[in-house]
Amino acid sequence: MQKGDQLYAGKAKSIYLTDDPTKLILHFRDDTSAFDGEKVEQLDRKGMVNNRFNAFVMEMLEKDGLSTHFEKILSEDESLVKRLEMIPVECVVRNFAAGSICKRLGLKEGLELNTPIFEFFLKDDARHDPMINEFHIRAFGWAEEREVERMKELTFRVNDVLTRLFRGAGMLLVDFKLEFGRYEGELLLGDEFTPDGCRIWDATTREKLDKDRFRRNLGGVIEAYEEVAHRLGVPSEYS
């Protein structure tokens, strides 16, 4: 697989073309961003840790019958993925109240929700990823009706699989964000699943083990990511 030109540089990943027009290389950088790019720092080992973490979760989801863009790990901080036509919305599921929903609705962090809540956000950093609903998606043609239904269905299935996975390793999956894209007429899970895009708490102490450590200057960010990876059994070396 020949690495080509850089296609795009996001806040924490860069994307490269390859000699196969249907495949891209994701490079997980050490850059860590919060508040839509307002706070950015380099954290040692982050690219490597997230690359392995993402590979582990994507492979687990594939085993459970969920189709993702993930193909294989290429190096310590790079993975090969299918090239998707991305849908510009973010799919969030919450099992406990934390983050923006607490501000929006005046909730106490940690409240266990009676049923998971699904929310759509528009992928638009300049506007701080505003919350939208299905009417916006329909009115602006960001996705087709059946794609909206499929994104909800797949996100809830991911929630079921991963809630069980984290529970089994003594952790709570508080909330997470997914992105989807089109590939040969199918909707596949794209982007990444790492502690950068979800909230994970220790089930007993409720210690934060995700990017909130960075957002709130709690320290030990990568140590927490490594702790989560270790508990889940993510291999410490790529193979």
Burial (0-12, 13-18, 19+ Cβ within 10 Å), 153: exposed
- At 8, which helix (H) or strand (E)? strand 3-9
Q: Is 118 in the site for ligand TMP (CB under 6 A)?
A: no
Considering only 34, 66, 74, 107, the residue that binds ligand ASP (CB under 6 A) is 34
Report the site for ligand TMP in 146-175 (rule: CB under 6 A): 175
Distance of CA 163 to the CA centre of its chain: 14
Among the listed residues 121, 156, 183, 238, the single contact to ligand TMP using CB under 6 A = 121
Taking the complex as a whole, the smallest distance from the CB of residue 21 to ligand TMP amounts, in Å, to 28
CA 41, CA 34: separation in Å to the nearest integer?
Answer: 9
**Does 36 engage in binding with ligand ASP (CB under 6 A)?**
yes
Q: Are 54 and 193 in contact (CB under 8 A)?
A: yes
Q: Contact region for ligand TMP (CB under 6 A) — 27-35, 49-57, 67-75, 193-201? A: 193-201
13 binds ligand TMP (CB under 6 A): no
Q: How far apart are CA 95 and CA 118, in angstroms?
A: 9
Site string for ligand ASP, 195-224 (x = CB under 6 A): ----------------x---x---------
In the bound state with ligand TMP, the residue whose beta carbon lies nearer, of 115 and 239, is 115
Q: What are phi and psi of 129, to 5 degrees?
A: 40, 65
The residue to which tokens 């708490």 are assigned: 201
Please choose, out of 27-35, 50-58, 83-91, 187-195, the segment that lies near ligand ASP by the rule CB under 6 A: 27-35
Q: Rounded to an integer, what is the distance from CA 80 to the centroid of its chain?
A: 16
Q: Which does 37 bind (CB under 5 to 8 A by kind): ligand TMP, ligand ASP, none?
A: ligand ASP
Residue 11 is classified by DSSP as: S
Q: By CB under 6 A, what part of segment 63-102 binds ligand TMP?
A: 90, 92, 99-100
Among 30, 71, 109, 129, binds ligand TMP (CB under 6 A): 129
Angle between helix 46-63 and helix 145-168 axes, rounded to 10 deg: 110
Q: How far is the CB of 192 from ligand ASP (least distance, A)?
A: 11
Closest CA to 49 of 217, 176, 169, 220: 220
Contact residues for ligand TMP (CB under 6 A)?
A: 90, 92, 99-100, 121, 129, 175-177, 197-199
